[in-house]
Amino acid sequence: MSQAPSYKRILLKLSGEALMGDDNYGINRSTIEQIVGQIKEVVELGVQVGIVIGGGNIFRGVSSAASGMDRATADYMGMMATVMNALALKDAMGKVGLIARVQSALTMQQIAEPYVRGKAMQYLEEGKVVIFGAGTGNPFFTTDTAAALRGMEMNVDIMLKATKVDGVYTDDPKKNPDAVRYQTLTFDEAIGRNLKVMDATAFALCRDQHLNIKVFSIFKQGALKRVVLGEDEGTLVHC
């Protein structure tokens, strides 16, 4: 008998860099297929999945040219990069039989639906994956903050922050082999120990609205499934 998932509805926060693989920028096809495969595993368990994705992998290719830009202009360019990533994810999902919808906080009617909360929740309840593009639709706010907002709006059970490191550590595990992974942390402990879980605005929103965060590595095969099954994977940051 298969184990029941611990969470019915999740919000997965993916950085754009997660799609790069070992490339310097852009989208690595084998990497995106591996990530989509993990998402399919949890959808087949009956978990409702929303995704907020960054755009750093696309924007990195023009970052030197953008260095002297007005901040708001550069941020809008970054938002468009997130929509490009969202479309790539949707395409990869369609190839493995997943039904996905892209909703954008910026109006791009030809390629994405506008973000509508009620419609997004309906899609989730129908078993479709909803990919939220263009961040919050406002400059000066990161996609971490967008993930916190969408997670609260979608009434998710938990936010899952997918990274290259399998949790939050006492020190940088790449530099210090004796660094220890925290299994759990409170928000106050993370703040007190100056642990960089996500940007300060997003972190404060999650803490104030009691939205727990699980930090894990999307590059460990089967890690996402283990997280939703409640197994010891990653680090849980809780109230």
Provide the annotated binding site for UMP: 55, 75, 136-143
Assess contact for 101 and 32: CB atoms under 8 A: no
| Cα separation of the two ends of the chain | 32
Q: Which two tokens stand for residue 183?
A: 């299994």
Of 5, 8, 44, 6, nearest in space to 154 by CA:
8
The alpha carbon dihedral of 227, 40, 8, 5 has a sign of: negative
CA dihedral 199, 203, 204, 209 (to 10 degrees): 150
Separation CA 151–CA 113 (nearest Å): 18
SS3 51: strand
Task: State the burial class of residue 130 (Cβ atoms within 10 Å of its Cβ: 0-12, 13-18, 19+).
Answer: buried
Q: What is the DSSP letter of 181?
A: B
Classify residue 46 as left (phi > 0), alpha (psi -120 to 50) or beta.
left
Name the amino acid, one letter, at 26.
Answer: G
Binding annotation for ATP: 13-16, 56, 60, 163, 169, 172
Q: Which residue has the tokens 């994810």?
A: 89
SS3 119: helix
Binding annotation: 13-16, 55-56, 60, 75, 136-143, 163, 169, 172
